[in-house]
Amino acid sequence: MDTFSVYVPKLLSKKEQFLSGRRSCKGCGKAAAARIASKALAPTAIAPDQVSESVTGSVLPGRNFAHDTIATDALIENLLDTVEKVNEEAARASQTRHKAVEKAVIGFNRRILEDDFTALTRALKKDQSALYLCFDNEAYIDEMLREAIPKPFILKEDVHPYGEKEVARVIQEKHMPPVVKKSEFDYIATSCPSHPFDLIEKIKKGIAAAGNAFILILTPCPTGWMFPNGQTMRMGKLAVATGYFPLYEIEEGTITITQKVSKREPVQTFLAQQKRFFTLPQQLMPVIQKEIDTFNEELEKAGKLHEIFK
């Protein structure tokens, strides 16, 4: 937002492609991100019915924007297959190499990468390239969160203390899921709906990329993170300002930081405002701070992909 003039939102399309009246919570970050993405894809995007209709509350007949629980291997593969078929038919009808669908855009929850991790790797082997939007609201059992839950008093066993190694792994996986590090993408980026024009630019770049592209989007969640529901965008800005979730992009192996933070705020300010962390042991705070500092410094120094993703 800082690099743009105040009146830039006027340039976006007025036509609403995003359905109002869903059953998502008040101030939902994921809904905001999906809406901004729909603005970026505005005049050309099509969302098939089976995909866009399903779950924010699966049982209720609300209109929804994303598939949260039923997305499996089969669904993603079916989508890519249908895109391929439609393209073949269009080419046959027009006798040219005209493509009806330029690129498939698939949005899914981060939880799928943990549960059905084969979905992404199998989809990547197909000829059809796609842009993958991964919405991460950190609400699936987050490891930091799981550690924050106090043990029941009946349990009398030696619990492995949550040390520096575990925290380091969790923090590194937050910035980019390990599946993405192993596989090959032409364009990788992180983004957040609190910086809407950053997100829009990255989606446009992801579509323009030759091969597969992956964008990890942090979506603050008032219900899961436990903060007042008007503060969604402010939480996203804090996550970027503290270095908890730095915004960067990787084009052809070279890293550029898109939102430069001159002086990072302490992570304490970000974590203390979320009630989900209020049982987190206080002695872990300096460890988390140290890990975030080292990651940010590495990111600033590193010029190439392999230097940061080991």
Of 43-51, 113-121, 154-162, 223-231, the segment contacting another protein by CB under 8 A is 223-231
For the CB of residue 75, give the shortest distance to another protein in the complex, in Å.
25
Within 51-80, the residues that bind another protein by CB under 8 A are 60-62
Strand-pairing partners, residue 216, are 134, 190
Q: Does 15 bind another protein (CB under 8 A)?
A: no
Residues with Cβ within 8 Å of residue 167, at least 6 apart in sequence: 144, 284, 287, 288, 291
CA quadruple 249, 115, 147, 269: dihedral sign: positive
Minimum CB distance to another protein, residue 55 (Å): 15
Rounded to a whole number of angstroms, the minimum distance from the CB of residue 232 to another protein is 5
Q: CB of 198: closest distance to another protein in angstroms? A: 13
Which residue matches tokens 């549960």? 115
Give the closest residue to 295 by CA, choosing from 253, 248, 254: 248
Tell which residue, 111, 118, 116, 46, has the closest CA to residue 82: 46
Binding another protein by CB under 8 A: which of 137, 232, 259, 296? 232
Q: Is 226 in the site for another protein (CB under 8 A)?
A: yes
Using CB under 8 A, which of 78, 82, 223, 258 touches another protein?
223
Among 48, 163, 211, 228, interactor with another protein by CB under 8 A: 228
Report 183-212 residues binding another protein (CB under 8 A): 196
Size of site (CB under 8 A) for another protein: 40
Least Cβ distance, residue 276 to another protein (angstroms): 9
One of 20, 44, 96, 282 touching another protein (CB under 8 A): 20
For residues 266 and 216, is the Cβ–Cβ distance under 8 A? no
Give the span between the Cα atoms of 119 and 97, in whole angstroms. Answer: 29
Query: Who's near 51: CB < 8 A, 6+ residues apart?
Result: 67, 75, 79
Q: Which of 231, 258, 268, 289 binds another protein (CB under 8 A)?
A: 231
By the rule CB under 8 A, 236 interacts with another protein: no
Give the nearest distance from C-beta 162 to another protein in angstroms.
Answer: 22
Q: Which is nearer to another protein, 5 or 96 (CB)?
A: 5
Asked if 6 interacts with another protein (CB under 8 A), we say yes
Residue 91: count of CB within 10 angstroms of its CB: 14
Calpha distance 114→178 (Å, rounded)? 10
Locate all alpha helices (DSSP H) within 107-182, ordered by sequence.
Answer: 111-115, 118-124, 143-148, 164-175, 178-182
Distance between CA atoms of 183 and 211, rounded to whole angstroms? 12
Distance, in Å, from the CA atom of 194 to the CA atom of 219, rounded to the nearest integer, reads 9
Please provide the distance, in angstroms rounded to a whole number, between the alpha carbons at the two ends of the chain. Answer: 32
Instruction: Answer yes or no whether residue 18 interacts with another protein by CB under 8 A.
Output: yes
283 binds another protein (CB under 8 A): no
- Asked if 140 interacts with another protein (CB under 8 A), we say no
- Give the binding site for another protein (CB under 8 A): 6-7, 9-10, 12, 14, 16, 18-22, 24-29, 31-32, 35-36, 39, 60-62, 196, 222-223, 226-234, 275, 278
